[in-house]
Amino acid sequence: MHSIKSITLPSFLRRTMKAYQLKTHIRTLGCELHRIGRSRNWQIKANFDQIEKVISFIEQSEESSWQWLAKLLGKQYENLTFDALMNIARKKENITVNELMSRTDCTIAQARKVIDKLEGF
């Protein structure tokens, strides 16, 4: 669960208004954010919890130029393993299948398997 993902952010500064504010907040969450060489691309290194916090910050901010980043980071949920889904479900007591699916974009079969395992079936 604490594995660090490295995600490339293409044309980060050109696509983002108020980039300084966003960069500052991302770094305060403990994420590593840096420019890749001399290119216009940036890279973020963060674990799943940090990615979740960045996404929720962007969604709450209502800054339209940041939404592409929330979508890009949201796609990282597609590669979650069964163990990662279990860890997410354990953190929230009485999590439902629908809530797990909405948080992680997993399939209904994956969510049911995780919930059944948590409930002892």
- What is the average pLDDT value for the chain, to the nearest integer? 85
pTM score, whole prediction: 0.69
The mean pLDDT value for 90-94 works out to 80
4-47 pLDDT, tens digit per residue, is 778 888 888 889 898 889 999 999 999 999 999 888 999 999 88
Least confident of 25-34, 46-55, 72-81, 106-115: 72-81
**Which comes out higher in pLDDT, residue 24 or 93?**
24
**3-state secondary structure labels for all residues of the chain:** CCCCEEEEECCHHHHCCCHHHHHHHHHHCCCEEEECCCCCCEEEEECHHHHHHHHHHHHHHCCHHHHHHHHHHHHHHHHCCHHHHHHHHHHCCCCCHHHHHHHHCCCHHHHHHHHHHHHCC
